[in-house]
Amino acid sequence: MARVLIIGAGGVGSVVTHKCAQAKDTFTEILLASRTEEKCKAIAKDVKKLQKRTIKTAALDADNPKNTIKLIKAWQPELVINVALPYQDLAIMDACLATGTHYLDTANYEPKDKAKFEYKWQWAYKKKFEKAGLTAILGCGFDPGQTNIYCAWAQKHHFDEIHSVDIMDCNAGSHGKAFATNFNPEINIREITQRGKFWEDGQWKETDPLSLMTPFDFAECGVKDMYLMYHEELESLVKNLKGLKRIRFWMTFGQQYLTHLRVLENVGMTSIKPIKYEGKDIVPLQFLKAVLPKPESLGENYSGKTNIGCWIEGVKNGQFKRYYIYNVCDHAACWKEVHSQAISYTTGVPAMLGAKLLLDGIWRKPGVWNVEQMDPDPFMADIGNWGLPWVETAPEKPLPI
């Protein structure tokens, strides 16, 4: 029985709100706040229609902690679920500390003017949250999120030592647009165009952007080209997995997507450096975001599936072991249930369940935590019931790369 404040009314915020509305024993009262209140109102209308729940909405610019503090004081939630943009993470954590409110997010902090995401800024809040007796859970989406929990589960139940992890994210869906990103275009393109990076033998190794590729046959999705990228969960998993020798992250991209991206990069449209246009400073990537389809608008005609999981190798009882755990999610089924596509859905459902476990007192411990530092069992026992069941296999052959 708790009041929750959800910040961010985008694709992920919509799913989190629908799913919190479904979990009515825990989330007894819901306030959805975002920069543009009309978007909150549209989601509230949809939640009323599909989930038969009434939620409240508010306008909030969360860049300034004062605004969030004011709203929290008025609403008095036990928890803030932050599904706005990574730029707001620290400001919202400050507001939580000032008001004695728990915190959960799905993406780590990024400064606006530098395409660099690292946990150091949020990890620096650990002592403050501990002292305040508050729990902050970081990265509780799918990747980061459910993939980290798969690793914690594997570490707890399947391995004595984990030697390598390959996180593999496949979207075999089709939305019918020439070019669109499945979550916030600005954050997505900043992530994809940076240099690749993986961890091996105690050090980080870099690659040119999307220069390492291998085809892989994903269950229910078929053979897709997956590309090595740097992704934020690698940083925390390197710290939290025992005996790790290598960890990499792979994502699938189609040729059409990559061609568009290359052209946009070549003409400077993915740059985050402001340029003068008719006397005004504009950031090309932010302008590009404004003309691309909104991620939440892709759902209605999306077909196909996603398959995201972890390929793990290591040792159990003195024997080499290979283990692969994944979820398959269907875009059209997500639309039917909560008017979303599978990327927002696979992010929003773990966020809701993490929030539920925190509020139910199961995942509550003062400090700042990555999800793999929580007990994976209660999450794994329930996540299938909320729409993201998992499959475990023991592959015979190694990965092709």
For the CB of residue 398, give the shortest distance to ligand NDP in the complex, in Å: 27
For ligand NDP, the nearest residue by Cβ is: 10
For the CB of residue 211, give the shortest distance to ligand NDP in the complex, in Å: 23
Q: Which of 65, 77, 86, 173 lies at the binding interface for ligand NDP (CB under 6 A)?
A: 86
Phi and psi torsions of 309, nearest 5°: -165, -175
Instruction: Give the number of other CB atoms < 10 A from CB of residue 262.
Output: 13
Specify the stretch interacting with ligand NDP by CB under 6 A; choose among 3-11, 263-271, 280-288, 376-384. Answer: 3-11
Nearest to ligand NDP of 53, 294 (CB atom):
294
Q: Which of 27, 123, 129, 142 lies at the binding interface for ligand NDP (CB under 6 A)?
A: 142
The reply on whether position 36 binds ligand NDP by CB under 6 A is yes
**Contacts with ligand NDP in 92-111 (CB under 6 A)?**
106-107
Q: Which of 85, 241, 298, 355 lies at the binding interface for ligand NDP (CB under 6 A)?
A: 85
The reply on whether position 292 binds ligand NDP by CB under 6 A is no
> In angstroms, rounded to a whole number, what is the distance separating the alpha carbons of residues 219 and 243?
29
Q: Which of 62, 162, 234, 359 lies at the binding interface for ligand NDP (CB under 6 A)?
A: 62
Cβ neighbors of 239 (< 8 A, separation 6 or more) are: none
**Are the C-beta atoms of 366 and 132 separated by less than 8 Å?**
yes
The reply on whether position 310 binds ligand NDP by CB under 6 A is no
> In angstroms, rounded to a whole number, what is the distance separating the alpha carbons of residues 203 and 35?
40
Specify the stretch interacting with ligand NDP by CB under 6 A; choose among 22-30, 35-43, 207-215, 377-385. Answer: 35-43
Q: Which of 23, 103, 123, 145 lies at the binding interface for ligand NDP (CB under 6 A)?
A: 145
- Which alpha helices (H) appear in 175-307, and where do they start and end? 185-193, 233-240, 255-266, 284-291
**Are the C-beta atoms of 153 and 323 separated by less than 8 Å?**
no
**CA 19, 118, 147, 197 torsion: positive or negative?**
positive
Q: Which of 34, 51, 122, 164 lies at the binding interface for ligand NDP (CB under 6 A)?
A: 34
Which bin fits 8, alpha (ψ -120 to 50), beta or left (φ > 0)? Answer: left
The reply on whether position 65 binds ligand NDP by CB under 6 A is no
The reply on whether position 88 binds ligand NDP by CB under 6 A is yes
> In angstroms, rounded to a whole number, what is the distance separating the alpha carbons of residues 155 and 209?
30
Phi and psi torsions of 287, nearest 5°: -65, -40
Phi and psi torsions of 58, nearest 5°: -155, 155
The reply on whether position 60 binds ligand NDP by CB under 6 A is yes
Q: If residue 171 lies in a helix (H) or strand (E), which one and from where to where?
A: strand 161-171
**Contacts with ligand NDP in 174-193 (CB under 6 A)?**
183-184, 187
Q: How far apart are the first and last CA of the chain?
A: 48
Q: Which of 2, 12, 151, 247 lies at the binding interface for ligand NDP (CB under 6 A)?
A: 12
Q: Which residues bind ligand NDP (CB under 6 A)?
A: 7-13, 34-36, 39, 60-63, 83-86, 88, 106-107, 139, 141-145, 183-184, 187, 295-296, 347
